[in-house]
Copies of this chain bind each other. A is one copy, B any other.
Amino acid sequence: MELRTLRYFVATVDAGTVTAAAERLHVTQPGLSRQLRQLEQELGVDLFHRTGGRLTPTRAGQSLLPLAQDVLERADALRVAAAFHAKGRLDRLTIGAPLTTLRDVVAPFIATLDAGDPIPAVFQADGQTAGEILGRGADLAVTSFPARAPYESRTLAELPVWACVPPGHRWAHRARLRLAELVADPEHPSTAERLVLPPATFTSRISLDAALQRAGRSYSDPIEAADGTVAQALAAAGRGVAVVSDDPQFGLHALPIHTDDGKLSVRLITAWDSRHPAHTAIAAVADRLRLFVAQRYSVTNDRT
């Protein structure tokens, strides 16, 4: 088992057929086929079913795939780090962030980077701590959990959590909402709106759940959406009230949610490893990200 053979394995699963993978890898198809067989023999596991003249990953293959990808990612990280030591400057920078932040903040930000800056790579990391994201190979993490110990962090923004309702809704002309209005009054369960929520790993959901727990309340039977955009789409279709931290879409009206402790919000931080050899360069990017968010946030603030 070598990095090369793992690359072969991943590429083959990825491409679907050995022929296609071979082309992508710039090797011939028989050569690739042989290497895959040897890898299977070495690991002692069938990675592919060979039924029907076609290769499909076995259960073992499916479960080993992410591990193989992980090895390759780490090897890549090593190569990037080596390039940093060679050139003295960071030429690639990996950012891990929750999906919502990725779309609303990180993506617009990396669009402002120019040729002099490191090439940004990005991956999705919902509901993970700075340590987990950085441990997955990111140089810079964006998360809503406070960072500890060997990680340095800066507050990026305090993003409001919105209750989004369609134009015709009875709350459409309200300027704000109290948390208690969102959830069922134990005395009158029927008065509550149905909630449309992102998965429990999402920061807005974590914030909502925590606030409700503090208030001793809870929602019943929410609609689980795949992410904030889907939640908003469902709200736009009149299925309920979407509670998200995404920017409102589909013409939805976004209301801030007030609790006893103030507005419901998500504190976004950016964090990096202070022991990273390029930590100065990373801190510089983090600072620019913070500046970018500050500008963007001062605009979005107008909306409230």
Residues of A within 8 A of B (CB): 1-4, 6, 43-45, 59-60, 63-64, 67-68, 70-71, 74-75, 77-79, 81-83, 85-87, 127-129, 131-132, 135-136, 148-149, 200-201, 277
**Do A85 and B45 touch (CB < 8 A)?**
yes
Given contacts A2-B2, A129-B131, A200-B149, contact A74 B85 (CB under 8 A): no
Complex CA–CA separation, A85 to B67 (angstroms): 13
Q: A1-B78, A131-B132 are in contact. List 10 more A-B contacts (CB 8 A).
A: A1-B3, A2-B2, A2-B4, A44-B86, A45-B82, A64-B78, A64-B82, A129-B129, A129-B132, A132-B132
- Distance of A157 from chain B, by nearest CB (Å): 23
- The residue among A71, A128, A277 with the most chain B CB atoms within 10 A of its own CB is A71
A60→B82 contact, CB < 8 A: yes
- Chain B residues contacting A4 (CB-CB under 8 Å) are 2
The listed residue (B2, B59, B79, B149) touching A43 by CB distance below 8 A is B79
Q: Which residues of B contact A127 (CB under 8 A)?
A: 148-149
Task: Report A282 CB to chain B, min CB distance, Å.
Answer: 14
Contacts of A200 in B (CB 8 A): 149
Are A201 and B75 in contact, with the CB atoms below 8 A? no
- Nearest Cβ on chain B to A9's Cβ, whole angstroms: 10
Residues of chain B lying within 8 A (CB to CB) of residue A67: 74, 77-78, 81
Question: Within the complex, what minimum Cβ distance (angstroms) separates A279 from chain B?
Answer: 11
Residues of chain B contacted by A135 (CB below 8 angstroms): 132, 135-136
CB closest residue in chain B, given A131: B132
Does B1 lie within 8 Å of A75, measured CB to CB? yes
Partner of A74, one of B70, B82, B128: B70
Question: 7 tightest CB-CB pairs across the interface, nearest first?
Answer: A60-B85, A44-B86, A43-B82, A131-B132, A67-B78, A71-B74, A2-B2
Interface CB pairs A-B, < 8 A, 21:
A1-B3, A3-B3, A45-B82, A45-B86, A59-B85, A60-B85, A63-B85, A63-B277, A64-B78, A64-B82, A64-B85, A70-B77, A70-B78, A71-B71, A71-B74, A71-B78, A127-B148, A127-B149, A131-B131, A135-B135, A148-B201
Beyond A67-B78, A149-B127, A277-B63, is A44–B83 a contact (Cβ under 8 Å)?
Answer: yes
CB of A77 to closest CB in B, whole Å? 6
Task: List chain B residues, Cβ under 8 A from A149.
Answer: 127, 200-201
| Cα separation A71 to B75 with both chains bound (whole Å) | 6
Q: Are A68 and B63 in contact, with the CB atoms below 8 A?
A: no
Contact between chains at B43 and A64 (CB < 8 Å) = no
Separation of A224 and B1 alpha carbons in the complex (Å): 45
In the bound complex, how far is the Cα of B136 from the Cα of A81, in angstroms? 19
Nearest-neighbour CB distance to chain B for A25, whole angstroms, equals 15
Cα A67 to Cα B82 in complex, Å, equals 10
Residues of B within 8 A of A44 (CB): 82-83, 86-87
